[in-house]
Chains A and B, each alone.
Chain A
Amino acid sequence: MSKTITIDGNEIPFAEGQTIMDAAMAAKIYIPHLCHNPEFKPHGSCKLCTVRANGRAVSACTMPAGEGMVIENKTGELDDERRAIVQMLFVEGNHLCPTCEKSGNCQLQAVAYCLDMMSPHYNHFYPPREVDASHPDVFLDRNRCILCELCVRASRDVDGKNVFGLSGRGIGSRLVVNSASGRLGDSTFAVTDRAAQVCPTGAILIKRQGFSVPIGSRIYDHKPICQVETEGKSGGEHE
């Protein structure tokens, strides 16, 4: 007999070694997340996927599922807390949806809608962040970076290039590029890299593709992210 966990009253099976997130995804249960992508090693930094497992707050993407675990996921309290975290992500960077090429395909924006975020609530930090257009095929706009490190993981673990890394500390944390000048154009980055495709926001954008899919026809324009993620191949690319 296979082992099971219970998420919001639904008993679902899991295999040894699976995390709560793995089991939920397999059972087509949506747990909000931004830094998680099943293709890469779990990270556990955005904290959106926080659930209560046997009453204790844990990150679903890193916590191994355990026999008989009782998990609360879709509760008013958790969604309030998750909304606060999304609001924090909005105010710490410079996210201007109406002028962003990623609008409609952006997971940050989609999660915000999904959690009924009506305003940023907190005061904007308006941090000065660097934009890097040096690469012939890719823009790097740190204003939209949420420090999920998906590009770091993709470049390191899939592309074998280590193009990205994180420097600084605390609110000063920033994405850095592996080249002597610090510019993307001087690195080994290529538009065909997996790392060019994984950004959940518009921090890494491919040039000369802007608005090829018009606003209104994009992934999350008609279906909320919770539906997209549980219907199709979850967590993959959304281009």
Chain B
Amino acid sequence: MEPCEFPHIEEQLGPILGRHGGDATRLLQILREVQDCFHFIPPEAVSCLASHLNLSRAEVEGVAGFYSFLSLTPRGEYRVLFSDNITDNMLGKAELMQYFCNKLWVEPGKVSEDNLVSVDSTSCTGMCDQGPAALVNGWPLTSLDNNRLDLVAELIRIRKPVAEWPEMLFEVRDNIRRPGMLLGEAFEPGAGIRATLARGAEATLKEVDASNLRGRGGAGFKTASKWSFCHAAIAEEEGSMICDVGGHPERFIVCNADEGEPGTFKDRVLLSSHADLVFEGMTVGARVVGARKGFLYLRGEYRYLLKPLEAVLERRRAAGLLGENILGEAGFVFDIEIHLGAGAYICGEESALIESLEGKRGRPRNRPPFPVTRGYLGRPTVVDNVETFACAARIAEKGGAWFAAMGTAQSTGTKILSISGDCARPGIYEYPFGVTVEEILRDCGTEDAHAVQVSGPSGTLVSWQEFGRRIAFEDLPTAGAFMVFHRQREMFAAAHNFAHFFAHESCGFCTPCRVGTQLQKRIMDKIAGGHGTPADLEELKQLGHILGTMSHCGLGHTAANPVLDTLKKFPGTFERKLKALSFEPAFDLDGALATARSITGRDDEWAHLL
């Protein structure tokens, strides 16, 4: 055995474990702190946590190995992760990252010799309206350019703690361009709860039902149905009802703020400037379903929002809007805890999110049972999107009919879109449902728009011929992403980027997604490298079919969407890259020598087979 490098791990982890009360459901939160402390999860820490949390070592290692922001091997003291969304790339991400690496003499994906810095890519960090963006030790850097990166490199070189870096590097703007009833109208904290208490829980559920509010995460399940299923469900264990300490059946309200879909950043803005509305909606939901505890699952990329959000919670507790006897109502108990993710898109899937909340690997569960009957810790749980709760707060305050008067028949209310890419005014736009793509493009200032990726890679690619289509569940459902591409953009590059995204984010549980997303990525790489053939296009279609039908969850089901959509709507972008042959071996003879070239430091003509 190798000598133990961390002989004092017990003492070092003591305070962290103490803060979390030795609770295994907090394993992910604990691992985040260990990562911050050591810049990786040392093997000694895995053993120590396992014994204190009464878990097997393999379970702790399983969780630590699952999340992108945790690492089982050492990372740099400064870990810089460049956001790899297509919009960041359109703004020059690849060149900037190379510039930065050259500046610091470090290779992407590797740790510098002095362990000072490591640089790598990460999935979209939700700063598409102010990219190119990156994270340094988890804190967002926005609007990067060579000058800013010079400064960052210098700060790293002189080992200045990130907390002391100039604030302007971390400035995140809201960029609200078109406010509506959620973002534009004043909201008095407590108004929704007050109306709920006056009206009664049952009548409030009726209002939510009458509003026809549907989930804003994209799937569009009717919120009132979800709430009433949860309200009706009672968790049982061996024939007896599971109750909390007060003798009430336990239920939970969870707010899904794991906004990982590339191109989506509207929850970021709701949480930074309208958190009261979101927490109010959760509290209304708690009253309706009879929950006493709520969680906000905040994606790791938004850790900078943790402190401000906790301040909002504290203020609400002081105002009697959270805690015991809310607004003086005897027995109305509800409080909210914030959990941070650690870089896993799959945790946006509600059952994977629940697993992650329980401190486990974010693996989607088998369904049925659904979370509304068996969710967090096996208890009935409502999981709703940030924006859904914000809408619910408004509905509680103003009534269902008011809400239903906006939008279309099947899509009532408004939708917040996060717009990025080739437009003059990227940012946040709130529209009544039913707005056409064309109108949106006009508002955000586009010239020559050629295509829009609606609802991110898992959504729909809309070509210029379809700009008359409407944002609505009836036509183009969306979680909010709206990425614009102008005529000069190569659409293949977007599909290629998205194929890499899904391969990186597949959880690995089911065969079709674990292997299929890899195969898709490799074929797209082959085509990008100029080795593609018509047979590869057929293979992509076939893979898309397998992914779409055989996968375990929505990630796999939609992982081929961008490739299939692009093949269908922009076939030329693929065909231009193909070799005019029916077969081309996937094995790249010259590529296979890359390792040998890197070892010998050669790149001369004799080191290539062409």
Question: B517-556 vs A: 1/0 string, CB under 8 Å?
Answer: 1110010000000000000000000100110011110000
In the complex the two chains form, is B59's CB within 8 Å of A162's CB?
A: yes
In the complex the two chains form, is B550's CB within 8 Å of A81's CB?
A: yes
Chain B interface bracket (under 10, 10 to 19, 20 to 34, 35 or more): 35 or more
Cα–Cα distance between A181 and B58 once the two chains are bound (Å): 11
Cα–Cα distance between A171 and B67 once the two chains are bound (Å): 14
In the complex the two chains form, is A88's CB within 8 Å of B505's CB?
A: no
In the complex the two chains form, is B546's CB within 8 Å of A165's CB?
A: no
Contact of B550 among A57, A172, A173, A178 (CB under 8 A): A57
Q: Give A90's nearest chain B residue, CB to CB.
A: B515
Q: How far is the CB of B225 from chain A (nearest CB, A)?
A: 20
Q: How far is the CB of A89 from chain B (nearest CB, A)?
A: 6
Chain A interface bracket (under 10, 10 to 19, 20 to 34, 35 or more): 35 or more
| Main SS class of interface, B | helix
Q: Give B515's nearest chain A residue, CB to CB.
A: A88
By a beta-carbon cutoff of 8 Å, the part of chain B in contact with chain A is: 1, 43, 47, 56-59, 61-62, 64-68, 72, 344, 361, 366, 368, 503-512, 514-519, 522, 542, 545-546, 549-552, 586-587
Cα–Cα distance between A48 and B510 once the two chains are bound (Å): 10
Contact of A170 among B72, B503, B512 (CB under 8 A): B503
20 A-B pairs besides A85-B512, A170-B503 with CB distance below 8 A are: A57-B550, A59-B366, A62-B366, A81-B546, A81-B549, A84-B512, A88-B515, A162-B59, A165-B62, A169-B66, A169-B508, A170-B506, A170-B508, A171-B503, A171-B517, A173-B508, A173-B509, A176-B58, A179-B57, A181-B1
Residues of A within 8 A of B549 (CB): 50, 57, 81
Which residues of chain A (117-170) have a CB below 8 Å from chain B? 122-123, 125, 146-147, 162-170
In the complex the two chains form, is A178's CB within 8 Å of B546's CB?
A: no
In the complex the two chains form, is A178's CB within 8 Å of B56's CB?
A: yes
In the complex the two chains form, is A167's CB within 8 Å of B62's CB?
A: yes
Cα–Cα distance between A165 and B194 once the two chains are bound (Å): 49
CB pairs A–B below 8 angstroms (16 shown): A44-B510, A50-B550, A64-B368, A84-B542, A85-B546, A91-B515, A92-B518, A147-B514, A164-B58, A167-B62, A167-B72, A170-B514, A171-B517, A173-B508, A176-B61, A176-B65
In the complex the two chains form, is B366's CB within 8 Å of A44's CB?
A: yes
Residues of A within 8 A of B551 (CB): 47
By a beta-carbon cutoff of 8 Å, the part of chain A in contact with chain B is: 42, 44-48, 50, 57, 59, 62, 64, 81, 84-85, 88-89, 91-92, 122-123, 125, 146-147, 162-174, 176-181
A47-B511 contact given A125-B518, A168-B65, A176-B62, CB 8 Å threshold: yes
Residue of B511, B512, B586 ringed by the most chain A CB atoms within 10 A:
B511
Q: Give B548's nearest chain A residue, CB to CB.
A: A57
Q: How far is the CB of B20 from chain A (nearest CB, A)?
A: 21
Q: Give A91's nearest chain B residue, CB to CB.
A: B515
Residues of B within 8 A of A167 (CB): 58, 61-62, 64-66, 72
Cα–Cα distance between A174 and B61 once the two chains are bound (Å): 11
Q: How far is the CB of A51 from chain B (nearest CB, A)?
A: 11
Residues of A within 8 A of B516 (CB): 88
A123-B522 contact given A178-B56, A179-B57, CB 8 Å threshold: yes
Cα–Cα distance between A180 and B57 once the two chains are bound (Å): 8
Residue of A123, A165, A169 ringed by the most chain B CB atoms within 10 A:
A169
Cα–Cα distance between A170 and B504 once the two chains are bound (Å): 7
A46-B511 contact given A59-B366, A85-B550, CB 8 Å threshold: yes
In the complex the two chains form, is A44's CB within 8 Å of B552's CB?
A: yes
Q: Give B55's nearest chain A residue, CB to CB.
A: A162
Contact of A45 among B56, B505, B510 (CB under 8 A): B510
Q: How far is the CB of B89 from chain A (nearest CB, A)?
A: 21
Q: Give A165's nearest chain B residue, CB to CB.
A: B58
Cα–Cα distance between A125 and B522 once the two chains are bound (Å): 10
Q: Give A162's nearest chain B residue, CB to CB.
A: B56
